[in-house]
Structures are given as C-alpha cells and as structure tokens.
Amino acid sequence: MPSTTSRDGGAGSRIADSLRDAILRGVYAPGARIRQEDLAAEFGASRLPVRDALRILESDGLVTLVANTGAWVSHLSLDECQEVYQIRERIEPLLLRYSAEHLDAETVDRLAALADRMQAGTDVETFLRLDREFHLLSYSAAQTSILGETVQRLWNSTQHYRRAFTLLIGPDASRAVHYEHQLLVAALRRGDIDDAERVLFGHIRRTRLELLQHPELFQQP
C-alpha cells in the first residue's frame, strides 16, 4: 500500500496539472485569488496536496504565494512584462541555437505542419496552444540544465498577455506572425542557425512593441 505522502504527492501533481491548464487557458485571470478551500472541495482533496500543487505552480511562474495570506494567479505590470520580453528576446535565440543543431528532419517537418495549422486556423485558443507547441518543440533538442526551464517559466508568466495580444492584432499583423513562423522553419530546414536566431529575435520583439501600445491590458480589475 502506498504511503500517505506518496498519495498526497500524486494528488498534488494532479491538482497542479489541472490548475496549470486552467490558468494557461485563461480560466483564471492574472491577479485572481486562488482559495485553498475551494480547490480542496473541487478536487475532493485535503489541504496538503492543494498546498503542494500551489508550490509547484509557484515554481512554474504561474502562482504567487504570500506567507500567511494566500495565493494569487501571477500578474505582471507593463514594466515587468517588458523586462520579461526583453529577457526572452535574448535567451530564446540562444536556446534555439542549442537545439537547432540537434533537430532532425522529422521534427522540422512537425514544426512545418504546426506552422501550417496555425496559418489555416482562426480560433485564438487553438492558435495559442499550437504556437506554444511550435516554439517549445523548436527548443526541445537543446541539452541544457537551466536555460530550458527558465524559458518555459517565462512563457508561463506571459501567457495571458500573448492571449491579449492575439485578440488585439488585426489580419495584417496575424499574417506577419505566420510569415515569421514559416521563415523560422525554412531557416531551420536549411541549417541556417544565425538566420533562425534573427527571425526569432524579431518575432518576440514585435510582440513586445505591440504590447507597449496597450497599457490597459496590465490593469487589474
């Protein structure tokens, strides 16, 4: 029979997985209060696995815990988001470089298929899911101990703002996003890592500059 600790640890991970998915899908808005008692009731769990789940999500960059006060969905100010995007502009091309030399032809084909699916679709949530899959797949062959986890945490912290950006941009800007995805795939396919880095840098930078034009997105209700 498994120990209580093992059961609680497994329950904590399952709760974290479910809550992570809900936060990334926008079910919980940035700054929303997360009440342990509500989660315990929703998942039929005790407070211990709920606390474990919240600690996992804190390490993911999705939840902010305040001692003796509670938990909230992490929220970025405009300045914080700009800083995160500037960090991403600099470190994601490096992570792509680490990955690109190990990407096989099958993975590049999968990236091309994802780019085509994004270009053909119109649903925002589907686009966000495929976009995340596309970029994280492009980094998946990197052999790093720190950089990959750091990038994923930064992606988590900016998910809400990518959603807001996607809802705001018009058809012309959407075409630019898809064109950049196709350029990135083409650079990876021909093994031009320098060009792939340049495309990715501009891709992230353009989103940052667009978000700068909409400070209202960072105001908490």
Same domain, 40 and 99: no
Sheet of 63-66: strand order equals 33-34, 70-73, 63-66
Task: For Cα atoms 43, 53, 69, give the angle at the middle one, nearest 5 degrees.
Answer: 100
Average pLDDT, the chain: 90
Same domain, 88 and 152: yes
Tell me if 197 sits within 8 A of 184, measured CB to CB: no
Torsion of CA 195, 196, 200, 202, to 10 degrees: 10
Average pLDDT of the residues in 121-150: 93
pTM of the predicted model, to two decimals?
0.86
Same domain, 68 and 83: no
Number of domains in the chain: 2
Average pLDDT of the residues in 14-37: 92
Answer yes or no: is pLDDT of 45 > 50. yes
Same domain, 172 and 97: yes
Same domain, 59 and 92: no
CATH number, domain of 28, equals: 1.10.10.10
Same domain, 86 and 170: yes
Chain centroid to Cα 210, Å, comes to 18
The residues pairing with 64 across neighbouring beta strands, listed in sequence order, are 72
Answer yes or no: is pLDDT of 61 > 80. yes
Separation CA 70–CA 46 (nearest Å): 16
Token pair of 201, please? 């840098």
Model pLDDT, residue 4: 32
Model pLDDT, residue 171: 57
Same domain, 126 and 199: yes
Model pLDDT, residue 221: 58
Same domain, 99 and 163: yes
Q: Of 20, 49, 73, which residue sits at a domain end?
A: 73
Same domain, 69 and 88: no
Same domain, 204 and 100: yes
Answer yes or no: is pLDDT of 38 > 50. yes
Average pLDDT of the residues in 151-169: 87
Q: What is the DSSP letter of 77?
A: -
Percent of the chain, pLDDT > 90?
71
CATH number, domain of 129, equals: 1.20.120.530
Q: Domain span at residue 56?
A: 4-73
Same domain, 83 and 184: yes
Q: Of 51, 73, 95, which residue sits at a domain end?
A: 73
Answer yes or no: is pLDDT of 83 > 50. yes
Same domain, 129 and 197: yes
Model pLDDT, residue 107: 98
Average pLDDT of the residues in 121-134: 89
pLDDT in tens, 89-105: 999 999 999 999 999 99
Tell me how far CA of residue 89 lies from CA of 102, 108, 132, 184, in angstroms: 21, 22, 16, 15
Q: Of 28, 45, 73, which residue sits at a domain end?
A: 73
